[in-house]
Amino acid sequence: MSRRPRFVIARAAIDAATVRLGGAELHHLRDVQRLTPGSELSLIDETDQIYAGRIERFDPDYAVIAVTPIARGAFASPELILAAGLIKGPRMDLLVEKAAELGASELIPLLTTRSVMRDVGAQRLERWRRITIAAAKQSLAAHRMRIRASITVAAMVRDLPPDTLDVVCVMDASPLGTIIRDTHPRRILLACGAEGGFDADEMALMRDAGFREAALGPNRLRSETAALAALSIAADAIHELSHEIAGRS
């Protein structure tokens, strides 16, 4: 299943275990991937339900695909939320794309004291959402990353999700992977600053809210590198925990 090309569908488009795929997704399926009747593929809907699919035929404006929902695994991976300080244009676009590929379930753009970018308009948010859809297809991620409107650190700590391991990435602290393996969290929030990191007031707010401080390694990293390194380390620790749980079952 993991080797099959993936396409995006709307759940409402499924009729009696069949979906008609048209538009840009049809172009990608037929003209780019060059799939033919009988080819197997996977599909993902807006609720992150994944389906196994098999092309039955092509009509002029759509492909007719037989679909079967894939049962979700017994081990529910912890949600991985990235709260990233806003950085300048193309670097933020890269962060969004790679965060989606690395399995982040949600991105919270943080308007920090040191953020150079001060305004995230509707067009930019819409572009980021398109980027996440493409990244979910390319990476075969189990879900599409949600993107929230930008908020301040103060707003973030006022509305923290329950049952969450809240982490702020800094230097000279306990390794992030060790913290995750020791706590077995149900949900993880990773806070990474913009250029120059969080200021003293923002750090104080997070410490008062119970954030753990975690290190990503010995080197000083650029903002987008730190955010992606944090996601990669967290994803690896989650993967280890899933195998540990599977081995005990």
Q: Tell me: the pLDDT tens digits for 227-244?
A: 999 999 998 888 787 655
Q: Please give the share of the chain, as a percent, with pLDDT higher than 70.
A: 92
CATH of the domain at 142: 3.40.1280.10
Q: Which of 81, 50, 40, 60 is nearest to 166 (CA)?
A: 81
Question: Which pLDDT belongs to residue 242?
Answer: 66
Question: Which pLDDT belongs to residue 75?
Answer: 43
Classified as helix, coil or strand, 240 is: helix
What's the CA gap between 108 and 164, in Å, rounded?
15
Residue 248 has pLDDT above 90, yes or no: no
Same domain, yes or no: 21 and 128: no
Question: Which pLDDT belongs to residue 1?
Answer: 42
Same domain, yes or no: 95 and 216: yes
pTM of this structure: 0.74
Do residues 77 and 100 lie in contact, with contact meaning Cβ atoms separated by under 8 Å?
no
Same domain, yes or no: 49 and 154: no
Question: Which pLDDT belongs to residue 238?
Answer: 83
Q: Is 74 among the domain residues?
A: no
Same domain, yes or no: 83 and 54: no
Domain boundary residue, one of 25, 42, 69:
69
| Lowest mean pLDDT segment, chosen from 86-90, 187-191, 207-211 | 86-90
The full length of the chain comes to: 249
Same domain, yes or no: 49 and 169: no
Confidence of residue 246 (pLDDT cuts 50, 70, 90): very low
CATH of the domain at 45: 2.40.240.20
Question: Which pLDDT belongs to residue 71?
Answer: 65
Domain boundary residue, one of 69, 98, 115:
69
User: For the chain, what is the mean pLDDT?
Assistant: 87
Question: Which pLDDT belongs to residue 239?
Answer: 77
Radius of gyration of the chain (CA): 20
What's the CA gap between 159 and 155, in Å, rounded?
7
In this prediction, residues 137-164 reach a mean pLDDT of 87
Residue with tokens 């009729």: 15
Q: Tell me: the pLDDT tens digits for 156-172?
A: 999 998 899 999 999 98
Full residue range of the structural domain in which residue 133 is found: 79-248
Same domain, yes or no: 149 and 210: yes
Residue 204 has pLDDT above 90, yes or no: yes
Domain boundary residue, one of 49, 69, 89:
69
CB count in 10 Å sphere of residue 194: 24
Same domain, yes or no: 234 and 116: yes
Same domain, yes or no: 203 and 181: yes
Same domain, yes or no: 35 and 86: no
Same domain, yes or no: 89 and 191: yes
Residue 143 has pLDDT above 80, yes or no: no
Same domain, yes or no: 29 and 87: no
| Lowest mean pLDDT segment, chosen from 3-17, 106-120, 130-144 | 130-144
> In the chain, how many domains are there?
2
Q: Is 163 among the domain residues?
A: yes
